[in-house]
Amino acid sequence: MSLRIVRALAVAIAGLVLAQPAFAHEQVGVGGGLVSGLLHPLTGLDHLIAMVAVGIWGAQLGAPAIWVLPITFPLVMAVGGVLGVLRIPLPMPEIVIALSALVLGAAVAMRLRLPFAAAAAVVAVFAIFHGHAHGAELPNSANPLAYGVGFIVATGLLHLCGITIGTLTRWPAGERLIQGLGAVIALLGGYFLAQSLGAVA
């Protein structure tokens, strides 16, 4: 049963990623801003895998990290979003976003058990950069507040997806599966990092 859930989630995530061109048009007004915000975190694979990894890592760390990490990320991401809307630059945003997928995926793969405060700090730093990217890419026609609510809600749902996957740690086979998924996320993060550095096309 647990493997079927993971397969269904993987198919759903792949479907969202492959459907990216359909989301490309700009949305107008409050409703459009909300829709744009909800869809935006789902249209970039680097964002998507990092947000799912936060939920998985929180589940691996257990209470209180299982809930605090996925709450910390959207709250701090909102601050980064405001910086992005205001066009306040951050250093090397694409590199840090790619690095977030690499680091968070590696944390899951290695079952890295940092002290709770350190784990929250790692997540918060990456959240600022993810939020900044969302804010900087706000469509001109979209309502900024509605857009912000949308991308925060979508991020929370991706974290919840990660937490759901992370519950498989209760079974030995599930733990190995999750560590393998973490390795895949880290490898993708490494690819995005190399891409950001111009090392690959």
Q: What is the domain range of residue 168? A: 2-17+26-196
Digit-coded pLDDT (tens) for 29-59: 445 567 777 777 777 888 899 999 999 999 9
116 domain residue, yes or no: yes
Q: Tell how far CA 165 is from the center of its chain.
A: 14
pLDDT bucket at 3, cuts 50 / 70 / 90: low
- Contact between residue 45 and residue 158 where contact means Cβ atoms under 8 Å apart: no
Burial class (CB in 10 A: 0-12, 13-18, 19+), 84: buried
Residue 177 tokens read as 């599966």
Residue 149 inside a domain? The answer is yes
pLDDT per position as a tens digit, 103-153: 999 999 999 999 988 999 999 999 999 989 888 877 665 677 887 788 888
Predicted local confidence at residue 172, as pLDDT: 79
State the Cα–Cα distance between residues 129 and 93, nearest whole angstrom: 6
More confident residue, 23 or 130: 130
d(CA 155, CA 42): 9
What is the distance between the alpha carbons of residues 92 and 162, in angstroms, rounded to a whole number? 26
Q: Check pLDDT > 90 for residue 186.
A: yes
Can you state the angle between helices 2-18 and 172-196, rounded to 10 degrees? 20
Confidence category of residue 4, pLDDT binned at 50, 70, 90: low
How much of the chain, in percent, has pLDDT values that exceed 90?
36
Q: Examine residue 168 and state whether it is found in any structural domain, yes or no.
A: yes
For residues 3 and 85, the model is more confident at 85
**201 assigned to some structural domain:** no
Question: What's the total number of domains in the chain?
Answer: 1
Provide the whole-model pTM: 0.78
Say if CB 20 and CB 72 are below 8 A apart.
no
